[in-house]
Amino acid sequence: MSETRRLLSPDRLRPWMDAAIEVATLGGARALQWWHKRATLTVEQKGKNDWVSEADRDVERTVVAELRRRFPGAAFLGEEGAKEQAGPGQLLWVIDPIDGTTNFLRGMPLFAVSVAAVVDGEPVVGVIRLPLQAETFAAARGVPTTVNGAPVSPSKVSHLDEAVVALGSNRKSEPGPVSASYARLIEQGVEVRRLGSACAATCFVACGRVDGYLEQHLSPWDVAAGLVIVEEAGVRANDYASGTWLSSGGPWVCAPPQLFEGVRQAAGF
């Protein structure tokens, strides 16, 4: 067990998780207000098919302000601008205000608000709110994953030819490895899904709606909360939160233990 985990007992983490649930729910309500008037949003292009709107920025501001009020000494890292370095032992909140921005802007009903607590580079609390589904996935180290307070369990499927696996890509993905992993999955009879929200796909692995999820490159705000959510649900994941993950991200794969090796081999990393 790492030193961080030894010091941060479940009793110490539970109030952080409860605060994150409250704030992600508030952020989700804010995102929903924008969702209903999304046709009026000003949208900017950050890169090839990479978008940001007033809604993403407003939800990030709301989530940061609400957390800062509750945790005045914390640092913040967010997809839409928050970028503070955390010192040793300092609490860092990692936020994706709207994960699934393309879905959101086009009216496809799956997007998420993601809030994670990270200490010394280690994610220790994860909360993901799916506003349209009114679902909140939450976990902390030593505190098992729940959805709206009820325990979750991952899938029991044991063969890839019965599995549904989510796969994603973005402008940082190399086309070759993405198509190779897609090909390896379908060769083995996997039903592949592209959900458009990394956070939702990860939560769906935790509760068994899909049997695995892989992406060649994801940013820290896409994974930090989901990593705690899947691991505390008994799902296996690659060693994502290591090295320079907080500044550069990296590949992400997760699946229930009986399928992990197969899905990881298909991912190719």
H/E stretch holding 58 reads helix 54-70
Question: Shortest distance, CB of residue 64 to ligand IPD, whole angstroms?
Answer: 16
- Sign of the torsion angle spanned by Cα atoms 191, 223, 236, 139: negative
Question: What does DSSP assign to residue 83?
Answer: B
Question: What does DSSP assign to residue 234?
Answer: T
User: Counting contacts by CB under 6 A, is residue 58 touching ligand IPD?
Assistant: no
Question: Shortest distance, CB of residue 79 to ligand IPD, whole angstroms?
Answer: 6
Q: Cβ closer to ligand IPD: 102 or 153?
A: 102
Instruction: Pick one of 215, 225, 227, 236: the residue that binds ligand IPD (CB under 6 A).
Output: 215
Rounded distance, CA 137 to CA 79, Å? 20
Residue 100 contacts which entry, Ca ion, ligand IPD, none (Cβ below 5-8 A, type-dependent): ligand IPD
> Could you tell me the CA-to-CA distances from 202 to 154, 189, 247 in Å, in that order?
11, 21, 21
The residue behind tokens 């924008």 is: 34
User: Counting contacts by CB under 6 A, is residue 100 touching ligand IPD?
Assistant: yes
Per CB under 6 A, which of residues 237..256 are in contact with ligand IPD? none
User: Counting contacts by CB under 6 A, is residue 28 touching ligand IPD?
Assistant: no
**Which single residue brings its beta carbon nearest to ligand IPD?**
168
Residue 186 three-state SS: helix
Q: Cβ closer to Ca ion: 95 or 117?
A: 95
